[in-house]
Amino acid sequence: MMVQFGSEKIPIENQSNQIEAEGTVSWFIKRGNMLFGYIESTCGKEVYFDTSSLMMPECADISTGDKVRFVIVKIDLGDGARKVRKIDAGTTYSAGKVL
């Protein structure tokens, strides 16, 4: 089975149908302990995330421009990010890895 994600077609070969991707935090709003915002994935698609999406403690100090890795899921707003975690700038990754 293939899934269209942005301009890429990504094979889904497992039962969980979760796709791991990379991107950059494009913006977010923080109010108290809650935050929400968007990640621009490497294929150019904007993906929503919120406080519950972040892997702690590594994302406790997340900032605009941070490089992140995440799992793409379908939500009411479109594409959402789960298991968001920061990655080192020197790390390379093959987009579309199926978990």
pLDDT digits (tens, 9 = 90+) for 23-70: 999 999 988 888 999 999 998 889 999 998 998 876 778 899 999 999
Q: What is the number of other CB atoms lying within 10 angstroms of the CB of residue 38? A: 19
Give the tokens for residue 20: 């791991």
Cα distances (Å, whole numbers) of residue 21 to 29, 44, 54, 68, 72:
22, 11, 14, 9, 7
Q: What is the model's pLDDT at position 13?
A: 44
Q: What is the model's pLDDT at position 23?
A: 96
Residue-averaged pLDDT of the chain: 78
Give the tokens for residue 36: 């929400």
Cα separation, 41 vs 69, whole angstroms? 9
pLDDT confidence band for 94 (50 / 70 / 90): very low
Q: What is the model's pLDDT at position 5?
A: 55
The CATH architecture one would assign to domain 18-89 is Beta Barrel (2.40)
Residue boundaries of the structural domains of the chain: 18-89
Cα separation, 53 vs 17, whole angstroms? 17
Give the tokens for residue 58: 């590594």
Q: What is the model's pLDDT at position 29?
A: 92
Query: Between these two residues, 67 and 19, which has the higher pLDDT value?
Result: 67
For residues 77-93, give the mean pLDDT: 77
